Homo-oligomer: A and B are copies of this chain.
């Protein structure tokens, strides 16, 4: 990365004309005055804007043609000197931040030019200074993966780390995580760490911190507010509620889904309002139940990956199901249609799975609502073929639960019993 990475055409000319490089502290008069640090841009960016990271940690894109004046306050060298070790404040609660990667942890370091896929306490403090006023944040880098590359083995590593902090000085734990598969991870942790005494918030960002309008800082601030003030436990996802910056939503880790590819408010609690909202920095509670059905913390970390999710559709080839059976899966989660149906052409292969003692659970590709397999003849046929209706469990969460349940027992009756026993609000609405 150079001192102008991502800038080209008009924006590059503008930087050079004003003797500004990435990393410099500047004061820019446009409609109002903005003070901040010049950030690098993405490779496909336009040449009409420059991006500033404001003191709030929030990034803003300023259109060059509206800029009336630029004042360079300090150059990049000056910035480095001020980047000191943070003092711990004994009056503030302590939060542990575990970094796993993802957009939120993909800071482009404008000092070294390298993409640093980590969040250190120092970096956090300099980019989101509000955090230091509400909590002492200690950070630990677990690994650095975009979330599409997070595998069940990574879930286990997170759980192995977290379980060591069940008796600690921390008020809560943040897990910085890519958003793509965040709800898979949150549901695994909800099952594996049942009874964990302090709250855990998975936090990501939909826009990386070098882009205008990154949501990273506000999601982190909201998560810390939640962890220090909610007086609850459980595993949550804390992200923007919508496009506005007023509200951070905390979703129950087993009832949440990423429902938009790019919006800041991409995550939604299915069938209910989010458990907590942080509205203009004030916490609101909507949740009416305890997160865990158990009081004692008894971690069960193991997982079995020989579980398949089968999304039925017209034209689905039953041979695909047959191949899954032959591959030795221990459980199959159907994402059926409507109230929980699959076509009659699937029955012969379903019968084979049943005879082999493979657990089969039914969810709905409608995502919202209960499966009900007693309403229609086809549902009753499937019940007779051994398929177990999984109420309103979200298909992806049912898949994760099946991996976790079959990781901890191989007995069919215990698998069935545990799949239907609520652990962490996975059946709640």
- List A residues at the B interface (Cβ < 8 Å): 42, 44, 146-152, 154-155, 178-181, 184-185, 258-263, 266, 305, 307-309, 311-315, 317, 319-320, 323-324, 327, 335-345, 364-372, 374-378, 396, 399, 403
Contact call A313/B261, Cβ cutoff below 8 A: no
Across the interface, A308 reaches (CB within 8 A) one of B320, B340, B345, namely B320
Bound-state CA distance A147–B314 (Å) is 9
Give the most central of A152, A155, A315, A344: most B CB within 10 Å.
A315
Given A147-B337, A184-B313, A305-B315, answer yes or no on A372-B261 (Cβ-Cβ < 8 Å). Answer: yes
Q: A181-B314, A314-B151, A403-B315 are in contact. Are A372 and B262 (CB under 8 A)?
A: yes
Contacts of A179 in B (CB 8 A): 338
Q: A44-B374, A151-B343, A374-B44 are in contact. Are A366 and B314 (CB under 8 A)?
A: no
**Chain B residue nearest to A257 in the complex (CB):** B366
In the complex the two chains form, is A338's CB within 8 Å of B261's CB? yes
Tell me whether A342 and B311 are in contact (CB under 8 A).
no
Q: What separation, in Å, do the CA atoms of A370 and B266 have in the docked complex?
A: 12
Contacts of A399 in B (CB 8 A): 313, 315
Given contacts A146-B377, A262-B339, A313-B396, 6 further A-B contacts (CB under 8 A): A149-B378, A180-B337, A259-B367, A261-B364, A266-B369, A309-B313
Which residues of B are found within 8 Å of A368, using beta-carbon distances?
259-261
- Whether B305 pairs with A341 at a CB distance below 8 angstroms is no
Residue from B185, B324, B345, B366 in contact with A260 in the complex, judged by beta carbons closer than 8 Å = B366
Kindly list chain B residues whose C-beta atoms are within 8 Å of the C-beta of A178: 338
A319 touches B327 (CB 8 A): yes
Given known A148-B342, A149-B378, A338-B179, contact A324–B313 (CB-CB < 8 A): no
9 closest residue pairs by CB, A with B? A261-B369, A148-B341, A180-B337, A180-B338, A260-B369, A305-B315, A323-B323, A260-B368, A261-B366
**Is A311 in contact with B309, judged by CB distance below 8 angstroms?**
yes
Contact of A152 among B184, B262, B314, B320 (CB under 8 A): B314
**Given the complex, which residues of B lie within 8 Å of A369, measured CB to CB?**
260-263, 266
- In the bound complex, CA of A317 to CA of B308 (Å): 8
B309 touches A148 (CB 8 A): no
Q: A312 to B317: give the CA distance in the assembly, Å.
A: 18
Chain B CB within 10 Å — which of A146, A184, A305, A339 has the most?
A146
- Min CB distance A116 to B, Å, is 15
Closest beta carbon of chain B to A164's beta carbon, Å: 23
Q: Quick one: which of B146, B308, B366 contacts A341, CB cutoff 8 A?
A: B146
- Chain B residues contacting A365 (CB-CB under 8 Å) are 258, 396
